Amino acid sequence: MLPEFVNTPFTDFSKDDNRKAMTEALARVEAQLGRTYPLVIGGREVMTEDKITSLNPSQFDQVVGTFAKGGREHAEQAVVVADETFKMWSRIPAEDRARYLLKAAAIMKRRRYDLAAWMVFEVGKSWPEADGDVAEAIDFLEFYGREMMRYAAPQPVTPYPGEENELYYMPLGVGVVIPPWNFPLAITVGMTSAAIVTGNTVILKPASTAPAIAYQFVEIMKEAGLPAGVLNFVPGSGGQMGDTLVGHPRTRFIAFTGSKEVGLHIHELAAKTQEGQIWIKRTILEMGGKDFIVVDSSADLEAAADGIVASAFGFQGQKCSACSRAILVDDIYDAVLEKVVERARKITVGPTKDQAHWMGPVVDKAAFENILKYIEIGTGEGKLALGGEKGPAQGYFIMPTIIQDVPENARIAQEEIFGPVLAVIRARDFEHAVAIANGTEFGLTGGLYSGDRSHLEYGRRELFCGNLYFNRKCTGALVGVQPFGGFNMSGTDSKAGGRDYLGLFLQAKSVTERF
Ligand code: NAP
Ligand code: MG
């Protein structure tokens, strides 16, 4: 019997042994940078003329890896292989499928420093952020493995005289998995493993800025013994490769996490019935956010400032859950703003290979330029309280930026920036603060710092977001503990890491025999 699921503990980097292990892993991984990687279709390695280059955003003359870049024909081949493999994989008993995940989790635990090191180089995560990403990936494997065993058990139906009735869950078919680069291991592993353990076959199109860490996962699944063709790896341009896979008549479902714009595009394309298509495609779409932390007059202001800074600037603000709006009620506005600025000013920014840097670079040139553009817009809409400038020139560094006195309907208070930019908004009173918090098209995460029970209860009912936190930061959801997903334009609220999640990758069949 399996032990009950527990979350993987984070690594304590204040311990000498752990620091040493991470330093060694960074050296090991750095020695492997610059390699060339193939597509993997049906277990076959395929090279292409066209390439994707993954760079280290902390030092952009360092190539992390060069990847074969698939085109339409590779997308087509991958669907054919996945479709064929489905006939076999869908018949493998659920328990057997679950064990591939448990085995992969065990491999990841043994390799956790190396996996973290890949993300330090590929996307500029700090040590603790990279470690958290690996821990979450392990958690998804452990959690969904157990969940599949639960879903495979006989499902309760109402007894009916003279008949045997049963209901069981079966897989859907070929799934396309499209992850973002910001949790390039955890989210990739989460969506892919959920699709596989439920008996589907997968075509994984990694984010073009983070294919190297995705490839590490593909290798681990192979080492765990996953049969060829169950997981196919096809890096390619989001537009071309993505559209071909999503639009294919044999694609049964799409699991996507990324921006609102791409999510809506996938939703629309998947809804269009193609010639020869015999099902309604299912989509699981988790998208952006404009997340808030509200602070009222009764709050512990020190704790609130800590929570705002950690949520706004952790991983350079590039989390879908990042706090991008601090909504402060009038009488504590100045005090909290001052504490937030004071803390953010002390943040160290630089290449994250060095443990001393709490904040690293933003992911690439496009992000860098987009964030700087928003800072310019924001300084016209509010008043710059901190930052606004670039960091060290060898990478895509932007200093922690705080813009105060931002009107609630300003662009930087409404549009997702996805970088280290915090808009501080003044509310007349608590109810006004809640109205401001709810006043965007998104609804992913939010926080409330309050010592007032009636405010906490009001917020519990009225604050509209998928993941709401009281008196703590609004990032860092744990698998199983805080199932994750958002409302409105933040997505389909699939609640990754929750007990409903695998149901999204399954269909239920009712069978009756009359005796
Ligand atoms: P993105 O630009 O939307 O890209 C996400 C993925 O979609 C990438 O693999 C991308 O490939 C692919 N893609 C692009 N165009 C496509 C198309 N036409 N068809 C199919 N796929 C296509 O998002 P991102 O910059 O990677 O990630 C940041 C966003 O993700 C933010 O908005 C953030 O809030 C959101 N996010 C949400 C959650 C959540 O749980 N709600 C979690 C994490 C992140 P290429 O890389 O090749 O373009
Ligand atoms: Mg990169």
CATH of the domain at 401: 3.40.309.10
In this structure, the residue with its CA closest to atom 8 of ligand 1 is 207
b/e for 189-216, b at 16 or more Cβ within 10 A?
Answer: bbbbbbbbbbbbbbbbbbbbbbbbbbbb
Q: Does the beta carbon of 475 sit less than 6 angstroms from any atom of ligand 1?
A: no
Containing domain of residue 194, as a range?
Answer: 28-287+493-514
Query: Does 182 map to a domain?
Result: yes
259, 440, 442, 490: residue to mutate for ligand 1 pocket, most atoms within 8 A of CB: 259
Same domain, 215 and 91: yes
Same domain, 383 and 401: yes
Enumerate residues 6+ apart whose C-beta is below 8 A from 461: none
Query: Does 502 map to a domain?
Result: yes
Same domain, 160 and 79: yes
Give the CA angle between residues 349, 128, 260 to the nearest 5°. Answer: 80
State in Å, rounded, how far the first CA of the chain is from the last one. Answer: 35
b/e for 474-513, b at 16 or more Cβ within 10 A?
Answer: bbbbbbbebbbbbbbbbbbbbbbbbeebbebbbeeeeeee
Same domain, 253 and 381: no
Query: Does 116 map to a domain?
Result: yes
Q: Which of 237, 150, 266 has the alpha carbon at shortest distance from 506? A: 150
Rounded to 5 degrees, φ, ψ at 473 are -65, 165
Query: Does 486 map to a domain?
Result: no
Length of the chain: 515
Query: Does 71 map to a domain?
Result: yes
pLDDT-flagged residues of the chain (< 50): none
Strand partners, 254: 176, 283
For the chain, counts of helices (H) and of strands (E): 15, 19
Lookup result for tokens 């009735």:
165
Same domain, 199 and 331: no
Q: What is the pLDDT of residue 1?
A: 84
Q: Provide the 3-class DSSP secondary structure of residue 115.
A: helix
Same domain, 464 and 428: yes
Number of structural domains the chain divides into: 2
- Which ligand 1 atom is nearest residue 418's CA? 31
Same domain, 54 and 150: yes
Same domain, 457 and 439: yes
Q: Where are the beta strands (DSSP E) in 38-162?
A: 39-41, 44-46, 51-55, 63-68
Q: Which of 483, 431, 468 has the alpha carbon at shortest distance from 452? A: 431
Torsion on CA atoms 100, 102, 106, 109, rounded to nearest 10: 120
Same domain, 257 and 229: yes
Q: Provide the 3-class DSSP secondary structure of residue 282.
A: strand
Taking the alpha carbons of 210, 491, 456, 481 in that order, is the dihedral positive or negative?
Answer: negative
Q: Where are the beta strands (DSSP E) in 281-322?
A: 282-286, 291-295
Quote the ligand 1 centre to 392 CA distance (angstroms).
27
Q: What is the pLDDT of residue 415?
A: 98
Same domain, 173 and 214: yes
In this structure, the residue with its CA closest to atom 39 of ligand 1 is 286
Same domain, 261 and 307: no
Give me the sheet containing 201-204, strands edge to edge: 44-46, 39-41, 231-233, 201-204, 174-178, 251-257, 282-286
Query: Does 314 map to a domain?
Result: yes
The verdict on pTM exceeding 0.85 is yes
Structure tokens at 212: 């190297």
Q: How far is CA 454 from CA 196, 200, 303, 305, in A?
A: 45, 47, 20, 22
Amino acid identity at 245:
L
In this structure, the residue with its CA closest to atom 18 of ligand 1 is 239
CA atoms of 162 and 513, how far apart (whole Å): 9
Q: Does the beta carbon of 286 sit less than 6 angstroms from any atom of ligand 1?
A: yes
Q: How far is CA 116 from the centre of its chain?
A: 15
Quote the ligand 2 centre to 188 CA distance (angstroms).
16
Query: Quick one: which ligand is closest to 366's CA?
Result: 1
Query: Quick one: which ligand is closest to 52's CA?
Result: 1
Enzyme catalytic residues: 286, 320
pLDDT tens-digit readout, 404-413: 999 999 999 9
pLDDT tens-digit readout, 94-125: 999 999 999 999 999 999 999 999 999 999 99
CA atoms of 50 and 235, how far apart (whole Å): 11
Task: Characterise 319 by phi-psi region: left (phi > 0), alpha (psi -120 to 50), beta (else).
Answer: beta
CATH, residue 279: 3.40.605.10
151 within 8 A of 168, measured Cβ to Cβ: no
Query: Does 7 map to a domain?
Result: no
Taking the alpha carbons of 104, 133, 136, 210 in that order, is the dihedral positive or negative?
Answer: negative
Query: Does 8 map to a domain?
Result: no
CA atoms of 409 and 425, how far apart (whole Å): 10
Quote the ligand 2 centre to 498 CA distance (angstroms).
30
Quote the ligand 2 centre to 503 CA distance (angstroms).
33
Same domain, 362 and 456: yes
Rounded to 5 degrees, φ, ψ at 98 are -60, -35
203, 283, 320, 323: residue to mutate for ligand 1 pocket, most atoms within 8 A of CB: 320
Q: Does the beta carbon of 259 sit less than 6 angstroms from any atom of ligand 1?
A: yes
Q: What is the pLDDT of residue 421?
A: 98
Quote the ligand 1 centre to 179 CA distance (angstroms).
6
